[in-house]
C-alpha cells in the first residue's frame, strides 16, 4: 500500500510538472516574437533563452536594450540580474532537495526557476518534490527554447501576443499551484500581504524590486514561524 501511495505521489508530481511546463512554455513564443520585433536577430534571441533562461529577466533585458540601445547595456544587465536574484533565493530552498554531485547541481542551477520551485514545494514528500522539480525544469527548458525559436521565426506575423492570452499563461499556472495551499489562515495572510505589498511598490520602484521585497517579507514570516513560534498551530478557515 505504501509503495502504491508513493508511486501515486510521483505520478502526480510529474503530471503537474508536465502540465505547468507545457503551459508556461507557450509564453516563450511571445518572447521570441517581441525580441525580433525590437531588433534582435533570431540567433541572438535563441541564445538569450538558452543561457539566460529566466523569462522576466529576458523581457527586461530586451526591453531596456531596445529603448536605449548599446548605451543602455549596463542598465539592462543590472535589471535582468536584479530580477534573477530571486532564483538565488529559490536555490537555497532547492539545494537540499537536489543533493550532491557537481554536474547535477550545475544542471539544477540552470533549472531553478519560479515554476520548478513552485511545483516542488507543492508536493507532500521529498521524493515527489524532486521529481516535480526536475520534470518541470526540463519540460520548460526544452519547451521555452523551442517556443522562442518559433516566435522568433514567426516575428510580427503573430501580432499582439496579448490577443492570444499568452501573457497570462504564467500567472494562471502560478495561481493553480498556489490555490490548493491556501487552506489555512497563515498562508492566506501571507499571500494577501504579498499581493498588497506588490501592488503598492509596482508604481514607485524599478522592475524586480517588488519581488525581492515580498521575498524578504515571506522569509521574515518563515523565520518567525519556525524559530519564534515553532509550535503555534496553523488555523484553518473553519476555526
3-state SS record for the chain: CHHHHHHHHHHHHHHHHHHHHHHHHCHHHHHHHHHHHCCCCHHHHHHHHHHCCCHHHHHHHHHHHHHHHHHHHHHHHHHHHHHHHHHHHHHHHHHHHHCCCHHHHHHHHHHCCHHHHHHHHCCCCHHHHHHHHHHHHHHHHHHHHHHHHHHHHHHHHHCCHHHHCHHHHHHHHHHHHHHHHCCEHHHHHHHHHHHHHHHHHCCCCCCCHHHHHHHHHHHHHHHHHHHHCCCCCCCECCC
- Domain final position from 179, 203, 223: 179
Q: Are residues 159 and 207 in the same domain?
A: no
% the chain with pLDDT above 70:
72
| Same domain, yes or no: 207 and 106 | no
On average, the pLDDT of the chain sits at 77
Q: Pick the range with the lowest mean pLDDT from 1-10, 88-97, 130-139.
A: 1-10
Say yes or no: 98 and 213 in one domain. no
pLDDT band at 88 (very low <50, low <70, confident <90, very high): confident
Please indicate whether residue 13 or residue 75 has the higher confidence score (pLDDT). 13
- pLDDT at 145 (0 to 100): 95
Mean pLDDT of 38-53: 89
Domain boundary among 179, 203, 230: 179
pLDDT average, residue stretch 169-181? 61
pLDDT at 134: 94
Of residues 230 and 82, the one with the higher pLDDT is 82
Checking if the pLDDT of 225 tops 80, the result is: no
Same-domain status, 87 and 133 = yes
**Residue 112 clears pLDDT 80, i.e. is over it:** yes
Residues 175 and 191 in one domain: no
Alpha carbon 177 to chain centroid, angstroms = 12
Average pLDDT over residues 150-160: 75
Residue at grid coordinates 522569509: 219
Which residue, 129, 151, 179, sits at the end of a domain?
A: 179
Are 201 and 88 in a shared domain? no
151 and 198: one domain?
A: no
Structural domain boundaries enclosing 224 = 182-239
pLDDT value for 211: 66
Would you say 98 and 105 are in contact if contact means Cβ atoms under 8 Å apart?
A: yes
Q: What is the pTM of this model?
A: 0.68
Mean pLDDT check: name the lowest of 14-28, 116-130, 223-237: 223-237
87 pLDDT tier (thresholds 50, 70, 90): confident
Per-residue pLDDT for 49 more than 90?
yes
Does residue 114 carry a pLDDT above 70?
yes
- The answer to whether residue 84 scores a pLDDT higher than 90 is no
216 and 142 within one domain:
no
Do 124 and 210 share a domain, yes or no?
Answer: no
Amino acid at each position: 500500500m505504501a509503495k502504491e501511495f508513493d508511486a501515486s505521489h510521483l505520478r502526480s508530481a510529474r503530471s503537474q510538472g508536465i502540465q505547468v511546463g507545457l503551459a508556461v512554455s507557450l509564453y516563450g513564443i511571445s518572447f521570441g516574437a517581441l525580441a525580433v520585433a525590437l531588433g534582435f536577430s533570431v540567433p541572438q534571441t535563441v541564445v538569450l533563452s538558452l543561457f539566460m533562461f529566466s523569462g522576466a529577466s529576458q523581457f527586461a533585458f530586451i526591453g531596456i536594450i531596445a529603448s536605449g540601445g548599446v548605451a543602455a547595456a549596463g542598465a539592462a544587465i543590472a535589471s535582468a540580474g536584479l530580477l534573477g536574484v530571486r532564483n538565488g533565493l529559490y536555490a537555497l530552498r532547492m539545494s537540499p532537495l537536489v543533493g550532491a554531485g557537481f554536474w547535477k547541481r550545475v544542471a539544477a542551477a540552470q533549472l531553478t526557476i519560479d515554476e520548478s520551485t513552485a511545483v516542488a514545494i507543492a508536493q507532500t514528500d521529498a521524493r515527489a518534490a524532486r521529481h516535480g522539480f526536475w520534470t518541470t525544469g526540463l519540460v520548460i527548458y526544452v519547451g521555452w527554447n523551442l517556443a522562442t525559436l518559433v516566435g522568433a521565426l514567426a516575428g510580427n506575423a503573430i501580432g499582439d501576443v496579448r490577443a492570444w492570452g499568452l501573457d497570462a499563461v504564467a500567472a494562471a499556472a502560478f495561481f493553480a499551484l498556489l490555490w490548493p495551499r491556501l487552506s489555512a489562515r497563515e498562508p492566506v495572510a501571507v499571500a494577501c500581504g504579498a499581493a498588497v505589498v506588490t501592488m503598492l511598490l509596482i508604481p514607485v520602484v524599478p522592475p524586480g524590486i517588488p519581488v525581492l521585497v515580498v521575498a524578504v517579507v515571506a522569509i521574515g514570516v518563515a523565520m518567525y514561524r519556525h524559530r519564534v513560534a515553532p509550535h503555534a498551530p496553523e488555523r484553518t478557515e473553519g476555526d
